[in-house]
Structure 1
Amino acid sequence: MNLLFDKWLPVEAPEGEVTTIAPVDLPGSPFLRVAHARADYSALATELLIDIFQTLCAPASRLQCSEYVSQKKQPTPDQFEGLRAAFELVGDGPRFMQVAPFETKSASPASALFFEAPGANTVKLNKDLFVSRDAVSSLCLQCTPVALYQVQSHARMGGQGYCVGPRALSALAAIIEGATLWETVCLNLLPVGWFDSQTGLEGENAPSILDSFPWTNPKVSLREKVEKPLGEFGRFGVLWWTPLALHLHVTDNRDGKVCSGCGEIHPEHIESLSWKATASKLAGAIKHPRTGWRPDANKGVGRAIEVPNDGFSFEHWQALTIGARLEDSLPAWGQLNWHQAEKVRLRAFGFAMNQNSPVAWFDEVTPILVPHDPANRDALKTSAGELVTAAQKAVAALKASLFRDPKKGIDNPELPLVTSPTQAGQMLWDELGRAITTILRSITDTPITIDAATDFRRSACASALKIFDRVTVDYGDNAQVSRGVLSRRVNLSKKLNPKK
């Protein structure tokens, strides 16, 4: 099965139907998005497509990026043929994101390719209480490419000897999302100059394109204990680094097992694989182009923005779009102009981790804000800081007004108790976030005015009171309860509008 030429990718057509295509059929097509049965696989397959076309037909300039979007320029058949050898999923030659066969004491189950499946130590200690070891037992060949991409490109720490990739742990991935899947891919392509600046490779100094893939690079052995400079993997090596030594065991699905990824039955599947820690790692600090970075004053390199355990908030959006410094913003934003930014969206996703175990999958779509230049970015940051602070105060006051207060006797079961103050706070965050985005888009090189900031605070107060009324509307039948609600509403209004 070849991942470029064979049909394995589920996509949604404009009419709403889901069909399966090969990536070679994607350029210029009207398909809207990847439509996998698993939400995380839909996002990850989109990322995989971006990496494929970034390597296949990297634009030489921003102009060529626009030509791909407008379909004035398309990848050629020869370009696809040049990558065929790197995208064979099974067979006797090089395999996609795998190493050559090797002996191990025992094979690992297919569940090793699923983030949510219990690890070997968890199973050994019989602690797989929430996700059973038997819940993930089979993986079809159509789901396998995304599963491989997930464990390799989003590799998490797995004990001594496992060297994570350029993202490290639970880094938040972010892409630009357009009207169609092909537009989404094109909007995230970066000119070759960005990769040249990362690797120091230019023009004829760049190795063969197949050197970008560790599994087709003759110089690389993932079981060789040595640091590998990124230059050995060509321009696009940062996209394809494989920190785990894996080899899949493909067998006939004679028992008709259902795939744990898509829920369908296929003639061939994966039930086991060889899994071994790789001793190699990339030398130096490499930034992945779809990960936002926060600068570190002590180390100088910085760290990736991680998936938040408590949900995606406006602060994360601000960090991804405006950035602490213009050069730390996601590089794909630099290819957008303001006209494009108004039509596309930011999609941020990833697994939140707790002690290296995934606890939740986050996948958020929001508007995009792109700074024009350093002066515009400074004005945006100043304004956003003021607006976000006001929004935070409104959210905190709303949540506090909805919690029980034992000191004031609110523990009485007859008095109001809202079961989800946090959800009410998120509703307010969503509403205020949209308002902040609208305000920031009108800023040039000077921060917002005092009057505009005052109007926003008044709007935040009104929104908080409306949401308070909405979530307490069922408590008005009992007179005592109604008085308690009214008292809380008055206190909320005072907190939001303190007297000078």
Structure 2
Amino acid sequence: MQDSWFNLIHQAWLPVRRKSGILSTIRPAEVVEAYSDDPIMDVEWPRADFQIASYEFLIGLLATAFSPDDHDEWLDLWEEPPSVARLDEAYDPIAKAFFLDGPGPRFLQDYSELEADLQPIERLLINAPGESTIKQNKDLFVHRDQVAQLGRPAAAMALFALQSWAPSGGQGNKTGLRGGGPLVTLVLPQENASLWQILWANTPCGKRVTEKNMETVFPWLAPTLLSGKEKDKVRPGENADTLQCWWGMPRRIRLEFTAVEEGYCDLTEQKENVLVTGWRQRPHGPDYAGWIGEEYSPGVVVHPLTPAYRQKDGAEWLSLHPQPGGIHYRHWVGLVVSTRDGNRLPASMVAQWHSTRAVDCGLTRKGRLLAAGYDMDSMKARSFVESEMPLPGAADEELRERIDHFARCCIDGVNQVWRKLTDAVKNALFDKKNVSLFDKKNVLFDKSVFSNLQHFFISNTEGQFFELLNKVGEAEDDVFFRMAWLKTLKNAVISGFDRTVLLGPETSIGHAERIARCRRQLLAFLACSGKEGRALAQALELPLRERSERK
């Protein structure tokens, strides 16, 4: 019977926490329930990746079925959120696309039954060990057999996360629309923002889905577009609507459901009468091409929640991905504002908040940036990284441009300084004549040295960076603040060098001389002396010293 089928629009399945601390499950339209009395503050999954995936899912629903026509309508709904009934009215027409099970089209699953071996359900989780890892007994940090069965709510979120962020998955198994493991950036508009405020702050204006274009928005409503040499790629405006950027389906998957009298989800520990115990997959799903950087709506490009970059002017736009070392203030340029050359762009929704929405909401100094995603090594997830940082801005456009320009100068400078510091440490620790620093066979090079150094460097400079951003505008000229930033960098660099490159009784004279030489070179660089030092001064837009004339 249809009543027993699981519909992600009509049934309560999203775990949430209200302001009072009460935990409950809701339908998507109920994100605004009891908004004045006890608003919903956040989703409450036991996994960080499910939290971020839930934001994307709910923002995607709003963008697809309830997007505002323009900024004025967006602002009206920011000030007075819609009712549950109004969201229900918007979501009801698309509910047929959100059955997770049943005889018809299934949410984010292949249009047809698949003949393939049944895979354990835990492999639906991006960070689960793969088949080859298990065969080679290498699942040391992410152990096998942790998840044997999922309830339908957790299975739906795992499926959405995999289809949205799909890494490379072996021969013929395609990556997500944004490539494997994209970086997701979201605006947190203010401290203690409600879930509605977080979702609406990141929802773009634009068109809504119609009955006519339903199949090009939700690809599982029609026969799957197979990839291969003779098959077409999935391109926006050709065989897919741009709204499909929220609902990409690169993998051909069918979930396996089992009815039980009494069972429990291994992730949520909730009681369930239907469990998902496995899934089947076939290769050659839709091959997404040409999406990144395509216009979504005026002022917004695909993907609205992911920063983009290109290697050079005129090159193809690509999605930004998390890298080893995490996300921190050194990435602020490119995540919040564009780089000087325009080849790194923040996600459209972050850019719109920074330039327009925060101003009209009176929250230019209140917002924070949430950046998260899987750091992938091809098919293997190294880690799920998540970071928050301030989003300082200004209501005055001229002041905001000054802040952004100051940030670019600071980040250009810190990137030069970090490269110089790591080079100095390498040269001080290792003799180039006797050992190759990058010889993988040589175990002298310890990566933890630079991991610890980076942690020290970031923790000793990040606070000052944001403090100075908030001070821009207090003086007519920002040179004083740039000098203060250079002083901060100098202190962190020298302290970091000294605590990493240690002199001891066992240090040879030759090694000690090499350490001293590297330290002197660092000091000269930080004094903006020499070719590299002058480049640092130019990056920070500091006055260059007069070169002394040789006699």
TM-score (norm 2): 0.72
Partner of 1:58 in structure 2?
67
> What's the CA shift for 1:377?
8.1
How many angstroms does 1:321 deviate by? 0.6
The alignment-based identity, stated in percent, is 21
1:249 aligns with 2:256: yes
SS in 2 for 1:252: strand
Aligned match of 1:149 = 160
**Retained in 1: the 8 A contact 2:367–2:392?**
no
The within-5 A match list for 1:373-412 is 382-388=405-411, 390-391=413-414
The runs of 5 or more residues in structure 2 that have no matched partner are 1-5, 293-301, 432-447, 501-511, 530-551
Q: Which amino acid letter does the alignment assign opposite residue 368 of structure 1?
A: L
2:461 alignment counterpart = 432
Asked if 1 retains the 8 angstrom alpha-carbon contact of 2:329 and 2:389, the reply is no
Matches of 1:395 and 1:17 in 2, distance apart?
46
Equivalent residue number for residue 291 of structure 1? 306
Distance 1:301 1:380, change over 3 A: farther
SS class of match (1:215): helix
The alpha carbon displacement at 1:126 in A equals 4.8
Structure 2 SS opposite 1:229: coil
CA contact (8 A) 1:383 1:448 kept: no
Query: 2:533: which partner in 1?
Result: none
Q: Distance in 2 between matches of 1:44 and 1:134?
A: 23
Please list every run of 5 or more consecutive structure 1 residues that lacks an aligned counterpart in the other structure: 196-202, 409-418, 473-483
Name the SS of the counterpart of 1:32 in structure 2.
Answer: strand
After superposition, what is the alpha-carbon deviation per residue over 1:313-352, rounded to whole angstroms, capped at 9, x for unaligned?
3232221111233993321121423433422211110010
- Asked whether 1:18 is paired with 2:2, we answer no
Partner of 2:443: none
1:108 to 119, 126, 136: 119
Between the aligned partners of 1:274 and 1:431, the Cα distance in structure 2 is 49
Residue of structure 1 in register with 2:385 after alignment:
362
Contact 2:111 2:224 in 1 (8 A): no
Code of the residue aligned with 1:337 in structure 2: it is: A
| 2:185–2:306 CA contact under 8 A, matched in 1 | yes
Q: Cα deviations across residues 245-291 of structure 1 (Å, max 9, x unaligned)?
A: 111111134684551x3344533211111211234323433331111
Count of aligned positions: 468
Q: CA deviation at 1:148?
A: 0.8
- In the alignment, the residues of structure 2 paired with residue 146 and residue 387 of structure 1 have an alpha-carbon distance, to the nearest angstrom, of 39
Q: Does 1:315 align with 2:330?
A: yes
Q: Is the 8 A contact 1:341 1:370 kept in 2?
A: yes
Q: 2:42 aligns with which of 18, 33, 37?
A: 33
Greater CA deviation, 222-231 or 30-39? 222-231
- Identify if the C-alpha distance between structure 1 residues 387 and 87 changes in structure 2 by more than 3 Å, giving closer, same or farther: same
User: CA 1:392–1:367 in structure 2 vs 1: closer, same or farther (change >3 Å)?
Assistant: same
Map of 1:277 onto structure 2: 283
Change (3 A) 1:112 1:373: farther
- Report the residue type matching 2:368 in the other structure: R
Stretch deviating more after TM superposition (155-164 or 206-215): 206-215
User: 1:476 maps to what in 2?
Assistant: none
Q: Which of 193, 197, 220 is 1:183 aligned to?
A: 197
3-state SS of paired residue (1:166):
coil
1:237 alignment counterpart: 244
Moved more, 49-58 or 338-347: 338-347
Q: Partners of 2:401 and 2:158 in 1: how far apart?
A: 40
8 Å contact 1:94–1:215 — kept in the other structure?
yes
Distance 1:181 1:423, change over 3 A: farther
Q: Which residue identity is paired with 2:248? A: W
Are 1:455 and 2:473 matched, yes or no? no
Residues 435, 8 of structure 1: alpha-carbon distance in 2 compared, 3 angstrom cutoff:
same
Q: Which digits, 9 at most, give the CA deviation of each residue in 1:371-392, with x for residues without a partner?
A: 9999878755653343235545
Q: Deviations over 1:114-159 (max 9, x none)?
A: 1112223334455444434322321111211210111101111123
- Secondary structure (helix, strand or coil) at the match of 2:24 reads strand
1:306 aligns with 2:321: yes
Shift of 1:89: 1.4
- Partners in 1 of 2:51 and 2:71 — Cα distance? 27
Deviations 1:349-401 (A, max 9, x none): 00101233100111111112569999878755653343235545777899999
Amino acid at match of 1:85: K
C-alpha change, 1:344 and 1:35, in structure 2 (3 Å) is: same
1:414 paired residue number: none
Amino acid at match of 1:184: I
- Give the stretch that moved more between structures: 138-147 or 281-290: 281-290
Q: Does 1:334 align with 2:352?
A: yes
1:448/1:175 CA distance change after superposition, 3 Å: farther
Distance 1:457 1:47 in 2: 39
Contact 1:174 1:290 in 2 (8 A): yes
Alpha-carbon RMSD: 4.1
- Please say if 1:43 is aligned against 2:52: yes
Shift of 1:94: 1.6
- Which amino acid in the other structure matches residue 455 of structure 1? A
Letter of the aligned partner of 1:274 in structure 2?
Answer: R
- In the aligned structure 2, how far is the partner of 1:275 from the partner of 1:447? 62
Match of 2:542 in 1: none
Shift of 1:310: 1.6
Is the 2:251–2:286 Cα contact (8 Å) retained in structure 1?
no
